[in-house]
């Protein structure tokens, strides 16, 4: 028999929580697990700008034939405009090439395949903590992983000095995965001054940055959130960027991401693109069309673009409001000082709750949080915030 020896694999630590949440019969249950936006009614809506673009596509789309391996050229250009800024030379000078990959995860996997297949590096440094899937993706591609410290648990802050001290041990040519903004899971991002130092450090050590940019627009704004990426590009001539429209377009299930590779010259960029195309061809052949056509339609139509930016700002502001409200309610309930969560960015809050406390919240209160203590603040609303604050208070006080 071929399969008899197989054991049951554990559920995914993040996506498995959604299944467990759905099966929970507690009427007060709250889902703060997976990084998916929910509005004040606990619903993950289709953005209005996306609906409008879909109407246009239904009317105008003429064919469902294959897309090019890279996706459509307009998708690449519009993605680069968001990453680098509309006026950046990198948008069209040929140094930067972009391929549509299925979601940010697909982009990371294609990047890792490309790195492995082209013998670009064998070691990848990953922040500790990080998004759990980083290790699996990189190792599945055949690369070795190392950790660099990122979070100072006592201070609830970036462990900046320890991060750079550890990365001193990296060898020339190693890859470093960097979260561009809204660090997953901590919500702690470098300051502009720290980004400047990181950019210099990567250049001095000759490390290849692989930037994971899944949350553009969820931190401070589309432009502000790109500060680190752009600073790294000022100092480093070769960079890989895995970006995603899952979150900022709310198109989680359309799998719309991109891998952008920046090279020192246009000639090298052409060769890089040809090799990334090989990696894509043998992984997925060519990308799905619907999501990228929605992105193109929205970003190239001034009215829809404006609508998108407004909807994105609404999501960002709601999450920030809920983060502050929770900190306030926790203080009022006597849980202690949770002010540190107001300093975190984006979708996640690293609560400092232990694995046992996370389990207790789930078992006794139907509150679902990732085992590391990461909470998706988008799951908080005016209706559940008191319940949540009371439950967390009971759990931290050992009640
Ligand atoms: C998350 O971190 O919750 C999201 O990025 C969803 C995922 O795929 O894990």
3-state secondary structure 206-245: CCEEEEEECCCCCCCCCCHHHHHHHHHHHHCCCEEEEEEC
Ligand 1 centroid – CA 271 distance (Å): 32
Chain Cα centroid distance, residue 73: 23
Ligand 1 centroid – CA 132 distance (Å): 9
Residues 199, 231: contact at Cβ < 8 Å?
A: yes
Which atom of ligand 1 is nearest the CA belonging to 105? 8
For the segment 157-209, what is each residue's pLDDT rounded down to a tens digit?
Answer: 999 999 999 999 999 999 999 999 999 999 999 999 999 999 999 999 999 99
Task: Please state the φ and ψ torsions of residue 61, each to the nearest 5 degrees.
Answer: -65, 130
The pLDDT value recorded for residue 13 is 87
| Mean pLDDT across 226-230 | 98
Neighbouring CB atoms inside 10 A of 144's CB total: 11
3-state secondary structure 264-284: CCHHHHHHHHHHHHHHHHHHC
Band (137; pLDDT cuts 50, 70, 90):
very high
| CA pseudo-torsion sign 280, 281, 284, 286 | positive
Which atom of ligand 1 is nearest the CA belonging to 252? 6
* Ligand 1 shell residues, CB under 6 Å: 14, 34-35, 131, 133, 184
Q: What is the DSSP string of 115-156?
A: HHHTTS-SEEEEEES--THHHHHHHHTT-EEEEEE-EETTTT
Name the residues annotated as catalytic. Answer: 131, 212, 247
Q: Helices 48-60 and 290-299 meet at what angle, rounded to 10?
A: 110
51: pLDDT strictly greater than 90: yes
| Mean pLDDT across 317-346 | 93
Please state the pTM of the whole predicted model.
0.96
Neighbouring CB atoms inside 10 A of 288's CB total: 16
| Mean pLDDT across 38-44 | 95
Strands (E), the chain: 30-32, 96-101, 123-128, 144-149, 151-152, 157-158, 175-179, 208-213, 239-244, 257-262, 348-350, 367-369, 374-376
The pLDDT value recorded for residue 336 is 85
User: In Å, how far are 32, 69, 136, 281, 291 from 284, measured between CA atoms?
Assistant: 32, 9, 18, 6, 16
Band (369; pLDDT cuts 50, 70, 90):
very high
The pLDDT value recorded for residue 179 is 98
For the segment 250-301, what is each residue's pLDDT rounded down to a tens digit?
Answer: 999 999 999 999 999 999 999 999 999 999 999 999 999 999 999 999 999 9
Which atom of ligand 1 is nearest the CA belonging to 12? 9
Ligand 1 atom 5, closest CA: 35
Report the alpha-carbon distance of residue 245 to residue 333 in Å, rounded. Answer: 37
Neighbouring CB atoms inside 10 A of 97's CB total: 23
303: pLDDT strictly greater than 90: yes
Report the alpha-carbon distance of residue 53 to residue 55 in Å, rounded. Answer: 5
Ligand 1 atom 2, closest CA: 35
Name which of 183, 73, 177 is nearest 115 in CA terms: 177
Band (146; pLDDT cuts 50, 70, 90):
very high
Q: What is the mean pLDDT of the chain?
A: 96
Ligand 1 atom 6, closest CA: 35
Ligand 1 centroid – CA 135 distance (Å): 13
Report the alpha-carbon distance of residue 133 to residue 269 in Å, rounded. Answer: 28
């Amino acid at each position: 028999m071929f399969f008899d020896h197989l054991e049951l694999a554990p559920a995914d630590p993040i996506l498995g929580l959604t299944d467990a949440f759905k099966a929970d019969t507690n009427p007060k249950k709250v889902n703060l697990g997976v990084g998916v936006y929910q509005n004040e009614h606990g619903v993950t809506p289709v953005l209005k700008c996306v609906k409008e673009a879909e109407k246009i596509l239904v009317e105008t789309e003429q064919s469902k034939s294959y897309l090019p391996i890279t996706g459509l050229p307009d998708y690449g250009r519009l993605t680069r405009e968001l990453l680098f800024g509309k006026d950046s030379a990198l948008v069209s000078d040929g140094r930067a090439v972009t391929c549509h990959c299925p979601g940010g995860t697909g982009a990371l996997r294609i990047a890792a395949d490309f790195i492995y297949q082209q013998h670009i590096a064998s070691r990848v440094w990953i922040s500790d903590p990080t998004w759990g899937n980083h290790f699996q993706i990189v190792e599945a591609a055949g690369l070795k992983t190392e950790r660099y410290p990122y979070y100072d648990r006592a201070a609830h802050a970036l462990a900046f000095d320890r991060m750079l001290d550890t990365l001193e041990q990296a060898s020339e040519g190693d890859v470093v995965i960097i979260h561009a903004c809204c660090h997953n899971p901590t919500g702690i991002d470098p300051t502009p001054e720290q980004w400047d130092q990181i950019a210099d450090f990567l250049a001095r050590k000759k490390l290849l940055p692989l930037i994971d940019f899944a949350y553009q627009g969820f931190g401070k704004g589309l432009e502000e959130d790109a500060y680190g990426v752009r600073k790294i590009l000022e100092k480093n001539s070769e960079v890989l960027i895995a970006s995603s429209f899952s979150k900022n377009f709310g198109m989680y299930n359309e799998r719309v991401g991109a891998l952008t590779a920046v090279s020192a010259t246009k000639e090298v960029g052409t060769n890089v693109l040809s090799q990334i195309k090989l990696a894509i061809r043998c992984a997925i052949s060519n990308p799905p069309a619907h999501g990228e056509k929605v992105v193109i339609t929205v970003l190239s139509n001034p009215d829809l673009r404006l609508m998108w930016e407004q909807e994105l700002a609404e999501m960002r502001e709601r999450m920030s409001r809920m983060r502050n409200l929770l900190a306030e309610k926790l203080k009022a309930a006597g849980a202690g000082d949770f002010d540190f969560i107001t300093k975190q960015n984006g979708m996640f809050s690293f609560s400092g709750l232990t694995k046992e406390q996370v389990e207790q919240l789930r078992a006794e209160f139907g509150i679902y949080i990732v085992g590391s203590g990461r909470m998706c603040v988008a799951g908080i609303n005016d209706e559940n915030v008191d319940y949540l604050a009371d439950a967390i208070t009971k759990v931290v006080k050992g009640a």
